[in-house]
Amino acid sequence: MLNLKTNNILIKEQFVWWKHGVIYHIYPRSFYDSNNDGIGDIQGIIQKLDYLKDLGIDAIWLSPIYESPQYDFGYDISDYYSIDPIFGVMDDFETLLQECHNRNIRLIMDLIMNHTSNQHAWFKESSSSLTNPKRDWYIWKDGKNGNAPNNWISATGSKAWEYDEQTNQYYLHSFFKEQPDLNWRNEEMREAFFNEIRFWLDLGVDGFRLDVINFIVKDKKFRDNPVFMGVPFLQKHLYNRNRPKSYKIVKKLRKLIDEYDNRMILGEIYVMPPGDAETAASYLSSGEKGLNLAFDFSLIFKRWSASAYYKCIKRWYKHIPTDGWPCNVLSNHDLNRSYNRSLFGSNNNEKAKICAVLLLTIKGTPFIYYGEEIGMQNGEIEKKDIQDPLGKKFWPIYKGRDKARTPMQWNANINAGFSNNKPWLPLNSDYKFKNVELQDIQIDSVLKVYKNIIKLRKKFSALVYGDWKPIEKGEKGILAYYRIFDKENLLIILNFRNSYNSINIDVDCFHKVLFSTHREIDKVYLESTLSIFPYEALILAPYKPI
Ligand code: GLC
């Protein structure tokens, strides 16, 4: 029997879906195309909900589906109140929400608060004259000696200011010039934006992933950022990111979200260079102050090494406030897919399985990026097929983000079962032997690992709420940790090396295999020193013979 205290926590926390749930990130253009125009859509997602349910997914996060000129593929919104026709209509969205909820799957929308599209009605008004009532809804400034107002550089590597001839002023854009930044110091704009958020909450969406939420407020005095070695684009974004007032806006937003039951906000904390756990965690709080979850992308940039992973995870947990909760992510639509990150080297199938077990058994809400569950790899995109404006701009030094956005590989049929028409991005050439249909019948596939571990997460509260107690910190190429909750005590062992390894389990009891990439389930071990297979992922539970 659980003691009363633990029992109460358990009962209370079981309702906090964003803590125990497994969240699946869908890039809608690439998931499933129901109308055969080559682009994924909302009806397509609806048709695949049973697949997601079977995988064990508790919530989906959709990259933006609002009306947009699609310059940055939806991250440039022209109307927050409507659905882009390429994805469907509002009725489709409401059906999706209902169908998700019927299956007990939550739905998280992407929300872009930092900027709109330059085609948004607000911006059109704002740019029409110096005296337009919405002028101050965006960030307009006079130039300085015939130049931009200050030295800020956008995240795309160019000047962050665009000159507007009509009104002889510059507007700020932290990304492309097609994405003008909103002015979060303007209360009228804030109220109008919060009304948009209310609209979606009233419809019943369960939460929001907040795009670059740490960018939203800029220095009031627009001071120049410090630059390194005199190189203008090597700057410390002191005055245009992570400003104290950003936290105040987040707090207001949290208040709004908390007016509704069981909703959540998750922040993309964009930091360059990546790997700043402390900044990501600074936005977290389970209280009224901050975000429910925040992304720290550090793990994505780690080389393949048990000790590097250990240090990274430990650092993340160290910064999580006592009332905060971690989440974990290995891939997304902006970065290299985890499967063939160059840092991985070879043996990627084995490594993908270790990553799956790691992602689903360390402490924190796991995020799976579509296709990660079958070990999808980066696409090889030729110049003529490039869609991402970043790829167009920087080719061939940087080929852009399309590689992580190629169509989902459902089966070995034409276009991987994604569409009957030519997909908007080329398919990965490996789809004939790497796809959902095939991996569903292979007992040792990456997909099976995801399914099995998600099942274990649902069975053992320790994998969700348990403390994380590392016992091997990577020195020998093994990362091993206990997850402990009440009487549950699971041991997870991950061998990062392509060679036999061993581990000492200093406890005087038998162990039973709950999961292994290499050995029989339910097998019982008496030894306190266990030999571990090359690239094995193993989960053990203490076992008492009857
Ligand atoms: C975020 C998104 C990215 C987008 C950018 C601008 O980083 O993940 O895809 O281009 O914000 O909205």
Q: Is 211 touching ligand 1 by the criterion CB < 6 Å?
A: yes
75: CA distance to ligand 1 center in Å? 6
Q: Is 112 touching ligand 1 by the criterion CB < 6 Å?
A: yes
Give the bridge partners for 294, in sequence order.
267
Q: Is 122 touching ligand 1 by the criterion CB < 6 Å?
A: no
Q: Which of 212, 237, 331, 394 for mutating ligand 1's site (highest number of atoms within 8 Å of CB)?
A: 212
Burial of 433 (0-12, 13-18, 19+ CB in 10 A): exposed
74: CA distance to ligand 1 center in Å? 9
- The torsion angles phi and psi of 332, rounded to 5 degrees, stand at -160, -175
**277 contacts 319 by C-beta, under 8 angstroms:** yes
389: CA distance to ligand 1 center in Å? 12
- Report the C-alpha gap between 224 and 239 in whole angstroms: 7
Give, using CA atoms, the residue closest to atom 4 of ligand 1.
Answer: 75
- Report the C-alpha gap between 156 and 163 in whole angstroms: 17
- In this prediction the pTM is 0.96
Beta strands in 345-497 (DSSP E): 365-369, 467-473, 478-485, 488-495
Q: Which portions of the chain are predicted below pLDDT 70?
A: 1-15, 286-288, 342-344, 506-507, 546
**Pairing assessment for the beta strands 231-235 and 227-228 based on DSSP bridges:** antiparallel
Q: Is 153 touching ligand 1 by the criterion CB < 6 Å?
A: no
Long-range contacts of 509-512 (CB under 8 A, 24+ apart): 509/542, 509/543, 509/544, 510/542, 510/543, 510/544, 510/545, 511/540, 511/541, 511/542, 511/543, 512/540, 512/541, 512/542, 512/543
pLDDT of residue 3: 44
pLDDT of residue 342: 55
* The residue to which tokens 């049973």 are assigned: 50
pLDDT of residue 346: 77
Q: Is 72 touching ligand 1 by the criterion CB < 6 Å?
A: yes
Q: Is 295 touching ligand 1 by the criterion CB < 6 Å?
A: no
Helix (H) or strand (E) holding 316: helix 306-319
Nearest atom in ligand 1 to the alpha carbon of residue 332 is 8
Give, using CA atoms, the residue closest to atom 12 of ligand 1.
Answer: 75
pLDDT of residue 1: 33
pLDDT of residue 272: 84
| Residue 279 DSSP symbol | H
- The residues assigned a catalytic role are 211, 268
pLDDT of residue 75: 98
540: CA distance to ligand 1 center in Å? 40
211: CA distance to ligand 1 center in Å? 6
42: CA distance to ligand 1 center in Å? 21
Q: Which of 158, 175, 178, 398 for mutating ligand 1's site (highest number of atoms within 8 Å of CB)?
A: 175
Query: How many residues would you count in the chain?
Result: 546
Nearest atom in ligand 1 to the alpha carbon of residue 175 is 6
Nearest atom in ligand 1 to the alpha carbon of residue 334 is 9
Give, using CA atoms, the residue closest to atom 9 of ligand 1.
Answer: 334
- Report the C-alpha gap between 469 and 176 in whole angstroms: 44
What's the one-letter identity of residue 155? A
Beta strands in 169-302 (DSSP E): 169-172, 207-210, 227-228, 231-235, 264-268, 293-295
